[in-house]
Chain A
Amino acid sequence: MVEWTDFERDTIKDIFSKMEYEVVGPAALARCLVVYPWTQRYFGNFGNLYNAAAIMGNPMVSKHGTTILHGLDRAVKNMDDIKNTYAELSVLHSEKLHVDPDNFKLLSDCLTIVVAAQLGKEFTGEVQAAFQKFLAVVVSSLGRQYH
Chain B
Amino acid sequence: MSLSDKDKAAVKLLWSKISKSSDAIGNDALSRMIVVYPQTKTYFAHWPDLSPGSPHVKAHGKTVMGGIALAVSKIDDLRAGLLDLSEQHAYKLRVDPANFKILSHCILVVISMMFPKEFTPEAHVSLDKFLSGVSLALSERYR
B-contacting residues of A (Cβ < 8 Å)?
30-31, 34-35, 37, 52, 55-56, 109, 112-114, 116-121, 123-126, 128-129, 132
CB contacts under 8 Å to A, within B48-75, are 52
Measured CB to CB, the closest approach of chain A to B105, in angstroms, equals 7
* Shortest 10 CB-CB contacts between residues of A and residues of B: A125-B35, A125-B32, A34-B121, A117-B116, A129-B36, A35-B125, A117-B112, A31-B121, A116-B112, A113-B112
Q: Is the CB of A123 within 8 A of B109?
A: yes
With A and B bound together, what is the CA distance between A74 and B110 in angstroms? Answer: 28
10 pairs, CB–CB < 8 Å, chain A vs chain B: A30-B121, A31-B124, A34-B125, A35-B124, A52-B122, A112-B109, A117-B116, A121-B113, A124-B32, A132-B36
B112 and A128 contact, CB distance less than 8 A: no
- The dominant DSSP class at the B interface is helix
A125 / chain B contacts, CB cutoff of 8 Å: 31-32, 34-36, 52
Q: Are A129 and B35 neighbours in the complex by a CB distance under 8 Å?
A: yes
Inter-chain contact B108/A113, CB cutoff 8 Å: yes
Residue among A30, A116, A121 facing the most chain B CB atoms (10 A cut-off): A116
* Complex partner residue of A117 from B31, B34, B36, B119, CB under 8 angstroms: B119
B128 in contact (CB, < 8 A):
yes
Query: Are B36 and A120 in touch, CB under 8 angstroms?
Result: no
Set A34, A37, A116, A126: member contacting B109, Cβ < 8 A: A116
Residue numbers of B with Cβ under 8 A of A are 31-32, 34-36, 52, 105, 108-110, 112-113, 116, 119-122, 124-125, 128
Interface contact B112-A34, CB-CB below 8 Å: no
How many Å lie between the Cα of A125 and that of B37 in the bound state?
Answer: 10
User: Of B36, B124, B125, B128, which contacts A128 at CB under 8 A?
Assistant: B36
A124 to chain B: closest CB distance in Å? Answer: 8
CA gap between A124 and B35 in the complex, in Å:
9
Residues of B within 8 A of A132 (CB): 36
A119 CA to B31 CA, complexed, in Å: 18
Q: How far is the CA of A90 from the CA of B92 in the complex (A)?
A: 44
Alpha-carbon gap, A109 to B116, bound state (A):
16
Q: Chain A residues near B122 (CB, 8 Å)?
A: 34, 52
Bound complex: CA of A45 vs CA of B29, how far in Å? 38
With both chains docked as a complex, state the minimum distance between the C-beta of A121 and any C-beta of chain B, in angstroms.
7
A109 proximity list for chain B (CB < 8 A):
105
Least CB distance, A23 to chain B, in whole angstroms: 12
Interface centre among A52, A117, A123 (most CB of B within 10 A): A117
Question: Assuming the A-B contacts A125-B31, A125-B52, are A120 and B128 also in contact, with contact meaning beta carbons closer than 8 angstroms in the complex?
Answer: no
- When the two chains form their complex, are residues B32 and A120 in contact, meaning their CB atoms are under 8 A apart? no
A112 to B111, CA, bound (A): 12
Q: Which residue of A lies closest to B114 (CB)?
A: A120
